[in-house]
């Protein structure tokens, strides 16, 4: 029995079901249920929300979410070895946990969950950035989710929350900062996981804004930012020269000095430039 529920401790669960961690699936498990409950609390009140968890593994975070009162949890796990352990959790919380054995990259969120939807996951590092990019760049805004509470490698978390003028500022910072607020809410050492990864991890909490901070066409902005940061050390007049013959005038019209570099330009000016380039 554990501190937060009547299920067996995670070490026993892992031993019983032979869940030897697989590197290819990004498996670094959290075994401390007080810690997983704390991560669940970082997502705010869960009682009125459906929660999507990608990669429940042996179910440490899943149990944290349910113990913290999540209305419903939908857990998507690629590794079929974890299903019996997850079925035990579903039994302990009748009607509140649904598990799908699938690749999260193939899932359409709105088909399975009712709003408000919160996404809370200790993401597998190999698909974490891809999933985040998809969630931050959906076909329509506001997105189907209201918040994302996600564990990343610390270096990725820093890129998400970075401010202009810093080494980590880039595409992810702009994508996250344009239509949401993002902050690091927890910092975890490698020893928090089994097996311990080489690097530190962090939990980022991202809350969707009702509207973008500045007007811009999402596709145009994404492609502009990708071009600008592809050669982040180059002056913008050079990295963006393929976009328009009069790129220097357009940069100035957006309030940007053509000799500036991408990493010094804030989101407002990227949006302004994207609009200027559309005319």
Where does this chain bind ligand SAM (CB under 6 A)? 25-30, 54-57, 60-61, 76-79, 82, 103-105, 122, 124, 127
**Shortest CB 84 distance to ligand SAM, Å:** 14
**Shortest CB 121 distance to ligand SAM, Å:** 7
Buried b / exposed e over 60-86, threshold 16 CB at 10 Å, is bbbbbbbbbebebbbbbbbbebbbebb
Both tokens assigned to 125: 């590092």
Please say which residue, 26 or 170, places its beta carbon nearer to ligand SAM.
26
**Shortest CB 173 distance to ligand SAM, Å:** 23
Please say which residue, 25 or 184, places its beta carbon nearer to ligand SAM.
25
Please say which residue, 153 or 239, places its beta carbon nearer to ligand SAM.
153
Closest residue to ligand SAM, judged by C-beta, is 55
Q: What are phi and psi of 50, to 5 degrees?
A: -90, 135
Helix (H) or strand (E) holding 252: helix 247-253
**Shortest CB 136 distance to ligand SAM, Å:** 18
In 3D space, the residue among 193, 158, 152 whose CA is nearest the CA of residue 172 turns out to be 158
**Shortest CB 64 distance to ligand SAM, Å:** 9
In 3D space, the residue among 199, 198, 200 whose CA is nearest the CA of residue 187 turns out to be 200
Q: What are phi and psi of 208, to 5 degrees?
A: -75, 135
Please say which residue, 52 or 271, places its beta carbon nearer to ligand SAM.
52
């Amino acid at each position: 029995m554990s501190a937060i529920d009547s299920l067996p401790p995670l070490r026993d669960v892992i031993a019983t079901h032979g869940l030897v961690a697989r590197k290819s699936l990004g498996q670094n498990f959290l075994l401390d249920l007080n810690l997983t409950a704390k991560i669940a609390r970082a997502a705010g009140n869960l009682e009125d929300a459906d929660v999507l968890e990608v990669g429940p593994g042996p179910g440490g975070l899943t149990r944290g979410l349910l113990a913290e009162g999540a209305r419903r949890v939908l857990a998507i796990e690629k590794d079929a070895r974890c299903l019996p352990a997850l079925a035990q959790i579903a039994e302990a919380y009748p009607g509140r946990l649904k598990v799908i054995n699938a690749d999260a990259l193939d899932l359409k969120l709105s088909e399975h969950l009712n709003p408000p939807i919160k996404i809370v996951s200790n993401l597998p590092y190999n698909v974490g950035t891809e999933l985040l990019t998809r969630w931050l760049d959906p076909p329509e805004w506001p997105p189907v989710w209201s918040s994302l509470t996600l564990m990343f490698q610390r270096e990725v978390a820093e890129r998400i929350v970075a401010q202009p003028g810093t080494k980590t500022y880039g595409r992810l910072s702009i994508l996250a900062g344009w239509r949401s607020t993002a902050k690091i809410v927890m910092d975890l050492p490698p020893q928090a996981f089994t097996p311990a990864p080489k690097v530190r991890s962090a939990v980022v909490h991202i809350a969707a804004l009702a509207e973008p901070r500045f007007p811009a066409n999402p596709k145009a902005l994404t492609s502009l930012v990708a071009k600008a940061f592809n050669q982040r050390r180059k002056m913008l007049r050079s990295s963006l020269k393929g976009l328009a013959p009069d790129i220097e005038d357009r940069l100035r019209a957006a309030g940007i000095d053509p000799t500036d570099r991408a990493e010094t330009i804030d989101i407002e000016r990227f949006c302004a430039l994207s609009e200027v380039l559309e005319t």
